[in-house]
Chains A and B, each alone.
Chain A
């Protein structure tokens, strides 16, 4: 039995290693200067394009838009849930966030498509909104966790000194929790950067050029990977592997960083008890 359990764990790690190594092996050779200086090309014209510059910029911009929406909203939600809401309402909010986290991202894509894209066209804004919906439960739940960790002694101290609830929250609780909020943001960014389904519906058609206007659709790394994965051209596949490598490195670093930071900030908060 021990043997089976150990084997199972080894298998899981082996798969992880195989995926990462495959991406690295296939992606590294294509990781040249061209990748970052050239834009994407649709039907591989030799000498032109063949890079992912516009996809990287697009992903950065759309993730930034999404994070700018989900972090303030999520933090406010967490503050309400942990500080102001009556306990029953806080439970309802938590349940709702968990439900939202369980909604398949393809359904979110269909939702945002009907809401924002029909009649208006593809845009980075629509993509940002779709991604922010995916991020919201992540940010709100993590932030609430951190806020609840802040010992009530701090809260009571603030109130005893005559500060209003608001003041206590803003000047005592939030700063203590800021580490956790930053962590939640990092994890949310890593999450949004890798999502593909919401992008299919909001920025599925994009230009082979650098676009910085968020009212227009932009190329994105996940879509470059998606399209390259279904292409017979070895060059398209190479670009897909390289883009996958870039994405994987970013996402894995972000997730690991997020996890390490959350452990650390949790320890620090507990020290204030």
Chain B
């Protein structure tokens, strides 16, 4: 091979390696810049309030005092509430799609469930405000209030905006995420394990409970965490239905607010510089939350994969 050819190919290699490596550098820069910029915008508020921002309950543009406690509470209640409904539902759907459904409909139904995830959140919010909200407020909430109103948090006045609406909307967003992962996980459980358990006389449910779920346990946890991450970060659909209020509601039906929803509602028109910085502080908290949740999910998933590869 002529020497010139080899030199040419080495330059080609170098060039491609260089350009693609540059892309990796850009990614790294992007992440660093993201953290830096959001932190910089939040700095005045971090300086002013420090850690007490997390426990402060006032969000007042008049006195220029801001605290995120009620917002963190709102974020956690809506996300955990959504998980409470979504996780059992998703596991059930995963079982259905991997075990129970006739083979012919498995792929189409899977695609349909995953299509739920593709619905833009603003469309879900539009539907939530104008259709689901009134329906739930007129039929479902009064029913629950009448029959379960003796439970402290469940009494109150039906409303087509509020915590409950946000939970419902978030549930719709989380289900496809957790369901599609659990379906995949369940499908990959070695069939000899499943058959073995059934052969020993276990019912379907016992088999799922004692064989399938433990087998995929880690993966499920990772999926749930991903769903959780999605829920805490959702701003648009939540702000459309939660009725952004300043304080904790007395009941599940009252208006509330989450960190993401507060940012969406107030960022365009802040009254003071400190308010703008406090909204950025909320973004910092969200960033940290999402980082922790995401990295934990990835860690669990990686560990699970290692275990499965080891077992195979």
A/B touching: CB–CB < 8 A: yes
A230 contacts B21, CB within 8 Å?
A: no
A-side contacts of B120, CB under 8 Å: 193-196, 222, 247-248, 251
Residue from B115, B260, B298 in contact with A255 in the complex, judged by beta carbons closer than 8 Å: B115
A212-243 interface with B by 8 A CB criterion: 222, 225-226, 228-230, 237, 240-241
- Chain A, interface size category, equals 35 or more
User: Nearest chain-B residue to A15 (Cβ)?
Assistant: B172
A178-232 interface with B by 8 A CB criterion: 190, 193-197, 200-201, 204, 222, 225-226, 228-230
B31 contacts A8, CB within 8 Å?
A: no
B37 contacts A84, CB within 8 Å?
A: no
B-side contacts of A45, CB under 8 Å: none
Most B C-beta atoms less than 10 A away, residue of A16, A73, A190, A200: A16
User: Nearest chain-B residue to A4 (Cβ)?
Assistant: B92
Residue from B26, B119, B291 in contact with A73 in the complex, judged by beta carbons closer than 8 Å: B26
A-side contacts of B114, CB under 8 Å: 255, 259
Residue from A12, A133, A164 in contact with B93 in the complex, judged by beta carbons closer than 8 Å: A12
Decide if B122 is an interface residue (CB 8 Å cutoff).
yes
User: Nearest chain-A residue to B301 (Cβ)?
Assistant: A98
Residue from B20, B95, B126, B179 in contact with A229 in the complex, judged by beta carbons closer than 8 Å: B126
The 0/1 profile, CB within 8 Å of A marked 1, for residues 79-123 of chain B is 000000000111011011101110000000101111110111111
Shortest distance between the CB of A243 and any CB in chain B (Å)? 9
B-side contacts of A244, CB under 8 Å: 122-123, 126-127
A157-172 interface with B by 8 A CB criterion: 162-167, 169-170
A110 contacts B31, CB within 8 Å?
A: no
A102 to B236, CA, bound (A): 16
A64-87 interface with B by 8 A CB criterion: 73, 76-77, 79-81, 83-85
B-side contacts of A248, CB under 8 Å: 119-120, 123
Interface segment, one of B52-60, B143-151, B263-271: B263-271
Q: A77-B27, A164-B9, A197-B236 are in contact. Are A114 and B37 (CB under 8 A)?
A: yes
A5 contacts B95, CB within 8 Å?
A: yes
Q: A2-B204, A106-B263, A163-B9 are in contact. Are A114 and B123 (CB under 8 A)?
A: no
Shortest distance between the CB of B144 and any CB in chain A (Å)? 17
B97 contacts A9, CB within 8 Å?
A: yes
The 0/1 profile, CB within 8 Å of B marked 1, for residues 1-19 of chain A is 1101111110111011001
B20 contacts A80, CB within 8 Å?
A: yes
B129 contacts A230, CB within 8 Å?
A: yes
Residue from B20, B204, B291, B295 in contact with A76 in the complex, judged by beta carbons closer than 8 Å: B20
Shortest distance between the CB of A205 and any CB in chain B (Å)? 8
Shortest distance between the CB of B161 and any CB in chain A (Å)? 11
Decide if B136 is an interface residue (CB 8 Å cutoff).
no
Q: A106-B263, A252-B115 are in contact. Are A79 and B31 (CB under 8 A)?
A: no
Decide if A33 is an interface residue (CB 8 Å cutoff).
no
Q: A96-B28, A98-B298, A111-B38 are in contact. Are A247 and B123 (CB under 8 A)?
A: yes
Shortest distance between the CB of B22 and any CB in chain A (Å)? 8
User: Nearest chain-A residue to B284 (Cβ)?
Assistant: A107
B113 contacts A13, CB within 8 Å?
A: yes
Shortest distance between the CB of A240 and any CB in chain B (Å)? 6
A-side contacts of B89, CB under 8 Å: 8, 11-12
A60 to B21, CA, bound (A): 30
New A-B contacts (7) at CB < 8 Å, excluding given A12-B116, A80-B17, A104-B286:
A12-B93, A89-B24, A110-B263, A169-B16, A200-B268, A228-B126, A255-B114
Interface residues of A (CB under 8 A from B): 1-2, 4-9, 11-13, 15-16, 19, 22-23, 26, 73, 76-77, 79-81, 83-85, 89, 93, 95-111, 113-115, 133, 136, 162-167, 169-170, 190, 193-197, 200-201, 204, 222, 225-226, 228-230, 237, 240-241, 244, 247-248, 251-252, 255-256, 259
Q: List 18 A-B contacts (CB under 8 A).
A: A8-B89, A12-B89, A12-B113, A26-B130, A76-B23, A84-B21, A99-B291, A99-B294, A107-B38, A107-B286, A115-B37, A164-B13, A190-B118, A194-B121, A197-B235, A225-B126, A226-B126, A244-B126
Q: Which 5 pairs show the lowest CB-CB distances between chains A and B?
A: A104-B233, A194-B120, A164-B9, A80-B20, A8-B92
